[in-house]
Chains A and B, each alone.
Chain A
């Protein structure tokens, strides 16, 4: 399915492309390729969405559960510093 040399070279630049760190020239090359190659178009779009979903949920869990925090401070002999 991903067979042509162009498809393979897209794959190598995929991370940089979705992160927006690829040179303008290479971006244009990829854009031209995915306009013609349906599978690569899907791979780029779903890769971008994959990274987006993980970034959107990156802050979970947002806290250390209180009992875990409690035991952490005690294990470090810092129980005097526990604030509630």
Chain B
């Protein structure tokens, strides 16, 4: 999550090509952008490429930044586009016509798992194995849901900021966020449900 009060960056300096200021921009935003890259792509090399491309693009286009959103949201927008482009390029050609990015209908998100795993102790819920399962679950989300979940729930953007970063209506952001969370809840219910069974067998 980007700190709410990053050191003030001068847009005028950035737009005039001031390298000191651009280095500060990279310092402030490289961590959140790298985190988004890792969670979105799940691969370190891809994440590094995405990180570099994001700042190269930011550098190239900063002069045309119209300040309709905050600088952070603008950077997230570049990063999100970069990530989605990389994912689409990597997809086999046969599915390139996939319209899943635009299609919000036709899928059933009703809960099917009703195991109450909330009673598991915190150290088990957040063990290193559990943490990697949390990451894997994000990877299994369709990318149109994944990017919304990462921006909103992990990076802490508001619904409005997420809609600006992704060029989506706020209603679409809310719908996708709910579907992402429902999907993750199902996945975590399978995993923690098994942990719960293991514990009861041990007793």
Contacts and interface: CB of A to CB of B under 8 A. Distances in A.
Interface stretch (B4-12, B52-60, B74-82, B90-98): B52-60
Interface string A13-31: 0110000000000000000
Interface string B90-117: 0000000000000000000111101111
B140 interface: no
Contacts of B87: none
B12 to A, nearest CB: 19
A56 B177 CA distance: 18
A9 interface: no
Given A11-B110, A69-B30, A54 B118 contact: no
Q: Is the interface of B mostly helix, strand, loop or mixed?
A: helix
B152 to A, nearest CB: 10
Q: What band does the interface of chain A fall in when counting residues whose beta carbon is under 8 Å from B? A: 35 or more
Given A53-B126, A58-B153, A62-B31, A72 B181 contact: no
A15 B181 contact: yes
A24 B125 CA distance: 31
A1 B23 contact: no
Interface string A71-82: 111011010010
A63 B34 CA distance: 8
Nearest to A69: B30
A53 B23 contact: no
A42 B51 contact: no
Given A71-B48, A75-B56, A43 B26 contact: no
A45 interface: yes
Interface of A: 1-2, 11-12, 14-15, 38-39, 42-43, 45-47, 49-51, 53-64, 68-69, 71-73, 75-76, 78, 81
Interface of B: 1, 19-20, 22-23, 26-27, 30-31, 34-35, 38, 44, 48, 51-52, 55-56, 59, 109-112, 114-118, 125-126, 130-131, 134, 149, 153-156, 174, 177-178, 181-182, 184-185, 188-189
